[in-house]
Amino acid sequence: MAATSSDAGSRPSGRGGGAPAVAAVFAGILLLLNGILGVLQGASAVSKDKVYLATARYLYQFDLTGWGWVQIGLGIVAVLVGAGLLAHQAWARWAGVVIAALSLVGQFLWLPYYPFWAVVVMAIDIFIIWGLTRPTAYRDF
């Protein structure tokens, strides 16, 4: 049996890499998926689907159709920024932070209509912001 080098494929490339770069790429994937789901969430609200609960006694109230259009707009921008992150565009890092922060606020306002899903998307938004604001997230790109 011939001896083979087991670490031939495990050497780091000249570009670096590691956990921070992986967190940024994963945040880009999450932002892309979050945008797609936001478009679907908004389309469901615009079509006056019976999925969402309308509470009459909540501190703030919005028209479900208008809020659906806001979700669609944020979702489209999130898809574009997520694609920019996956293409390693420098502008997409801070644009991703801004879009994830806007999505976080939007999901907080969406709480009365679909609480469970809003909390799940808020957690995803927090991870996106964390992944994109790491000091070394784009060091190796």
Q: How far is CA 13 from the centre of its chain?
A: 28
> 91 in a domain, yes or no?
yes
- Domain assignment present for residue 71? The answer is yes
Q: 99 lies in a domain?
A: yes
Compute the average pLDDT of residues 13-34.
74
Separation of alpha carbons 95 and 33, rounded Å: 16
Q: 66 in a domain, yes or no?
A: yes
Most distant pair of Cα atoms in the chain: their distance? 75
At 134, is the secondary structure helix, strand, or coil? coil
User: Considering only CA atoms, which of 35, 15, 51, 42 is closest in space to residue 138?
Assistant: 15
The pLDDT confidence band at residue 56, using thresholds 50, 70 and 90, is low
Domain presence at residue 3: no
| Tens digit of each residue's pLDDT (9 = 90 or more) over 93-110 | 899 999 999 999 988 887
Is 13 a domain residue? no
Let me know if residue 120 belongs to a domain.
yes
For 111-141, the pLDDT digits (tens) are 877 788 889 999 999 999 998 887 764 554 4
Domain count, the chain: 1
Residue 81 and residue 17: Cα distance in Å, rounded? 21
Confidence check: pLDDT of 21 > 90: no
Instruction: Please check whether residue 100 lies inside any domain of the structure.
Output: yes
Look-up: residue for tokens 């489209």?
Answer: 76
Q: Which of these, 124, 25, 35, 108, lies nearest to 76 by C-alpha position?
A: 35
pTM of structure: 0.75
Q: Is the pLDDT of residue 19 over 90?
A: no
Average pLDDT over residues 63-80: 88
Provide the residue range defining the domain that includes 70: 25-132
